[in-house]
């Protein structure tokens, strides 16, 4: 996802997206541990998406104050 797409999401949707991404990262790390991971670059992409979601959440939190 692009940052623009993430910013268009509502707060509840952002929370759901964050949970989904964390679950995906867990699954990817598990696959890496058992040598079943097809695309190791996906781990980096998921981490980056998690960071973008958290950044947008923090921006909204600071804007609300």
Instruction: Please say whether the beta carbons of 28 and 46 come within 8 A.
Output: yes
Provide the CATH number for the domain around residue 53: 1.10.287.310
Q: How many domains does the chain have?
A: 1
What pLDDT, on a 0 to 100 scale, did the predictor assign at position 1?
78
CA-based torsion, 22, 25, 31, 36: positive or negative:
positive
In degrees, rounded to 5, the angle at the alpha carbon of residue 48 between the alpha carbons of residues 55 and 58 is: 10
1-22 per-position pLDDT tens digit = 799 999 999 999 999 999 999 9
Which structural domain range is residue 55 located in?
Answer: 3-64
What pLDDT, on a 0 to 100 scale, did the predictor assign at position 37?
93
What pLDDT, on a 0 to 100 scale, did the predictor assign at position 44?
97
Tell me how far apart the alpha carbons of residues 52 and 23 are, in angstroms, rounded to a whole number.
Answer: 16
18-45 per-position pLDDT tens digit = 999 999 999 999 999 999 999 999 999 9
DSSP 37: -
């Amino acid at each position: 996802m692009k940052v623009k797409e993430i910013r268009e999401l509502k707060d509840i949707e952002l929370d759901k997206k964050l949970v989904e991404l964390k679950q995906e990262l867990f699954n990817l790390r598990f696959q890496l541990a058992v040598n079943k991971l097809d695309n190791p670059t996906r781990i980096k992409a998921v981490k980056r998406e998690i960071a973008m979601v958290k950044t947008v959440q923090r921006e909204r939190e600071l804007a609300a104050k």
